Structure 1
Amino acid sequence: MSLPTYNCLIVDDEPPAREVLKRYITKLPMLNLIGECSNALQVIAFLHANPVDIMFLDIRMPQLNGLELVSSLVGRPKIIFTTAYSEYALESYDLEATDYLLKPIKFERFVKAVNRALPNYQPPPVTKADISTLAKENFLYFRADRKMVKVVLKEILYVESLKDYVKIVIPDGQVITKYSMAAMEAMLPAGMFLRVHRSYIIAINQVISFNKTHIQLGRLEIPIGKIYQIAVFKKLSMP
């Protein structure tokens, strides 16, 4: 069975920046580049004529910037901002952007953004190179209480579903943010975290013991869903 493909549009007024994104997109078989624009006005006409699933969008552009463009769109595609400026991050999350990539963009970070845009896509197994990359980028930011909260990956105990939100539990508290469990599963590195139930993702290094139905994390017992049992036993039984 072939993987579904998703139509992509690149929007950037700098040709070298577009070339980087084009090269990255061609490496991922689920992405299909259908166009590129050098300004926001071209985008409006393009979207009227073409179905776009993901738009890789620069912010500082002539005439109309990327934030203004997104604000004007109805039925917008998934937006991944690509910019050299960090100061627009909060505004981008107010617009419910999928991700915010700072130039120069590393391929590993690009893949993570794509995974967030396509929550049903299953990322490949984590390699030693991936783990090395995570050692350098070992935290994520989540929007909670109208601000961006930094969460260090190694401090996460587990993630619990709360309908349209998730609760990220850390030793000194919790962060509640608007994400699906599928999106969280795609964002968190598979070498560190494991989906064990439709409502729970656990940190592998926090596991004290487990049996057929439950996993012990400190004093807390997390249920194992029936459809996850085989994968959980296989993963946790590995030396």
Structure 2
Amino acid sequence: MYKCIVIDDEELARALLTSYIDKLDFLEQIGSFENPLEAISLVKSETVDVIFLDIQMPNLKGTDFAKIVPASTKIIFTTAYSDYALEGYELNALDYLLKPITFERFLKAVDKLKTKTVIENKEVTDTTITIKSGYDLHKLQLQDITHIESDSEYVIFYTNSKKIMSHQTLKSLEKTLDATMFMRVHRSFIVNKTKVTSLKGRDLLLSNLSIPVSDSYYDKVKQELF
């Protein structure tokens, strides 16, 4: 059961989100607020797993409020303004819902909550990968891998600080990777889902990296990541 609160200065928006939350047995709403300032004491005194947070509000913007909540609390932004999407993802938001919000889109967002929790709670033995490169063996934290690129009969593992080449195919590697964390988006690329910040046209952005999405994977990428 995930404890959640709704913060939105529009009463109808709060009511809609509350009705969606009530439909799901794994969500429990413990608060609804018109003003983010009213929610501060609750967030500090109780464990809140996820906040459905509007961005453009009087007194305090949702993006500013998100900076002061505990790191363990997930944020799902809700707003009528698509211009805020990139800012939301830069704050490591779990998702970004553009109003008017359908129940189908809401469900995709909260499913990410379950997926992310599974990733964070994996056993230590499942959080690393050993890569053979020539005669050397390298152990990488899965969370540190941003993406993997195919290069003929080799694949290249990328992190923010290094890259490691291994003699294997992307197809065979894909079968061994955890599908809750990694996703094939192109015949030449696998990405770490947790590193994706936005989709612009046919390119996935992973912070300052741009990874192409092929036509055959585009619909799946939109469905699973957005």
TM-score by length of 1: 0.53
- Who is 2:154 aligned against? none
Aligned-partner SS, 1:119: helix
- Who is 1:179 aligned against? 194
Q: Does 1:99 align with 2:95?
A: yes
Cα contact 1:159–1:166 (8 A) shared by 2: no
Question: Number of matched residues?
Answer: 146
Letter in 1 for 2:184: I
**Cα deviation, residue 46, structure 1:** 1.6
Give the fraction of aligned pairs with identical amino acids, expressed as a percent: 41
**Cα deviation, residue 48, structure 1:** 1.7
**Cα deviation, residue 166, structure 1:** 2.7
Letter in 2 for 1:92: G
Q: Does 1:114 align with 2:110?
A: yes
Residues 67 and 163 from structure 1, CA distance in 2 versus in 1: closer, same or farther, beyond 3 angstroms?
same
Residues 69 and 76 from structure 1, CA distance in 2 versus in 1: closer, same or farther, beyond 3 angstroms?
farther
Aligned-partner SS, 1:118: helix
Cα contact 2:81–2:98 (8 A) shared by 1: yes
**Cα deviation, residue 159, structure 1:** 7.9
Q: Does 1:63 align with 2:78?
A: no
**Cα deviation, residue 45, structure 1:** 1.4
Give the counterpart of 1:87 among 62, 80, 83.
83
Cα contact 2:183–2:193 (8 A) shared by 1: no
Letter in 2 for 1:170: H
Structure 1 unaligned runs (5+)? Answer: 123-142, 146-156, 181-204, 207-239
**Cα deviation, residue 75, structure 1:** 2.9
Aligned-partner SS, 1:111: helix
Q: Superposed, which structure 2 residues align to 1:1-239 within 5 Å?
A: 5-119=1-115, 161=177, 166-171=182-187, 173-179=188-194
Residues 169 and 178 from structure 1, CA distance in 2 versus in 1: closer, same or farther, beyond 3 angstroms?
closer
- Who is 2:155 aligned against? none
| CA offsets 1:64-113 (integer angstroms, 9 cap, x no match) | 10101111223341111111011111111111100000000010110010
Letter in 2 for 1:67: T
- Who is 1:230 aligned against? none
Residues 160 and 96 from structure 1, CA distance in 2 versus in 1: closer, same or farther, beyond 3 angstroms?
farther
- Who is 1:201 aligned against? none
| CA offsets 1:194-235 (integer angstroms, 9 cap, x no match) | xxxxxxxxxxx99xxxxxxxxxxxxxxxxxxxxxxxxxxxxx
Q: Give the alignment's Cα RMSD to 1 decimal.
A: 3.3
Cα contact 2:3–2:27 (8 A) shared by 1: yes
**Cα deviation, residue 31, structure 1:** 0.6
Residues 71 and 164 from structure 1, CA distance in 2 versus in 1: closer, same or farther, beyond 3 angstroms?
farther
Aligned-partner SS, 1:91: helix
**How many Å separate the matches in 2 of 1:159 and 1:83?**
37
Structure 2 unaligned runs (5+)? Answer: 119-145, 148-157, 159-170, 196-215, 218-226
**Cα deviation, residue 175, structure 1:** 5.0
**Cα deviation, residue 50, structure 1:** 2.1
| CA offsets 1:115-162 (integer angstroms, 9 cap, x no match) | 00112899xxxxxxxxxxxxxxxxxxxx989xxxxxxxxxxx868748
